[in-house]
Structure 1
Amino acid sequence: MAIVPFPLKLVERRMLAPSVGHYVFLRDDGQPLDFIPGQFIQVHFQYADGTATKRSYSLATIHDHRLGPGEAVEIAVSYVPGGAATALFEGLPPGGHVQASGPFGRFCLMPNDHNQRYLLIATGTGVTPYRAMLPQLAQAIAERGIEVVLLFGARTPAELLYGEDFRAFADAHPNFRFVPCFSRGLPANPHPDVRQGYVQQHLAEFAPDPARDIAYLCGNPDMVDTCFEALKAAGLPIPQVRREKYVSSK
Structure 2
Amino acid sequence: MKQFPLKLVSRRMLAPTVGHYVFLRDDGEPLDYIPGQFIQVHFQYADGTSTKRSYSLATIHDHALGAGETVEIAVSYVPGGAATALFEGLNEGDPILASGPFGRFCLMPADANRRYLLIGTGTGVTPYRAMLPQLETLIRERGIEVVLLFGARTPDELLYGDEFRAFAEREPNFRFIPCFSRELPADPHPDVRQGYVQQFLAEFSPNPDGDIAYLCGNPNMVDSCFEALKEYGLPVPHIRREKYVSSK
| TM bin (shorter chain) | over 0.9
Which whole-Å CA distance do the structure 2 matches of 1:162 and 1:148 have between them?
A: 17
1:19-64 residue CA offsets vs partner (Å, 9 max, x unmatched): 0000000000000111100000000000010000000000000013
- Could you say what secondary structure the match of 2:226 adopts? helix
Counterpart of 1:20?
Answer: 18
Matched, 1:51 2:49: yes
Partner residue, 1:132: 130
Residue number in structure 1 paired with 2:60: 62
Closer, same or farther in 2 for the Cα pair 1:93/1:68, shift >3 Å? closer
Q: Distance in 2 between matches of 1:191 and 1:105?
A: 34
What is the TM-score normalised by the length of structure 1? 0.97
Q: Percent identity?
A: 81
- Which of 58, 71, 74 does residue 73 from structure 1 map onto? 71
Cα distance in 1 for partners of 2:148, 2:168 equals: 10
Give yes or no for contact 2:55–2:73 (8 Å, CA) kept in 1. yes
Deviation at 1:68, TM superposition (A): 6.1
> Could you tell me how far 1:169 is from its partner in structure 2?
0.4
SS of the counterpart of 1:158? helix
Name the count of aligned residue pairs.
248
Q: Which runs of 4+ in 1 moved over 4 A?
A: 66-70
Identify if the C-alpha distance between structure 1 residues 69 and 222 changes in structure 2 by more than 3 Å, giving closer, same or farther: farther
Q: Does residue 180 of structure 1 match 2:178?
A: yes
| TM-score after normalising by structure 2 | 0.98
What amino acid is aligned across from residue 119 of structure 1 in structure 2? L
Deviation of 1:188 (Å) = 1.1
Partners of 2:120 and 2:5 lie apart in 1 by 30
- CA spacing shift, 1:239–1:185, aligned 2, 3 Å: same
Answer whether contact 2:28 2:68 (CA < 8 A) is retained. no
Contact 1:34 1:69 (C-alpha < 8 Å) held by counterparts: no
Q: Which residue of 2 aligns with 1:247?
A: 245
Q: How far apart are 1:106 and its partner, in Å?
A: 0.2
Q: Distance in 1 between matches of 2:64 and 2:4?
A: 24
Gaps of 5+ in 1: none
**1:137 counterpart SS class:** helix
Distance across 2 between alignment mates of 1:25 and 1:237 = 38
State whether residues 12 and 23 of structure 1, in contact with CA within 8 Å, keep that contact through their aligned partners in structure 2: yes
CA distance in 1, matches of 2:168, 2:67: 26
Q: Secondary structure at the match of 1:95?
A: coil
2:31 and 2:66 in contact (8 A); partners too = no
Q: 1:114 aligns with which of 112, 115, 119?
A: 112
- Per the alignment, residue 216 of structure 1 pairs with 214
Give 1:234's aligned amino acid.
Answer: Y
Contact 1:35 1:69 in 2 (8 A): no
- AA aligned to 1:187 is P
Q: Distance in 2 between matches of 1:132 and 1:246?
A: 17
Q: CA 1:172/1:206 → structure 2, altered by over 3 Å: closer, same or farther?
A: same
Aligned equivalents of 2:67, 2:212: Cα separation in 1: 27
Picking from 113, 138, 143, the partner of 1:145 is: 143
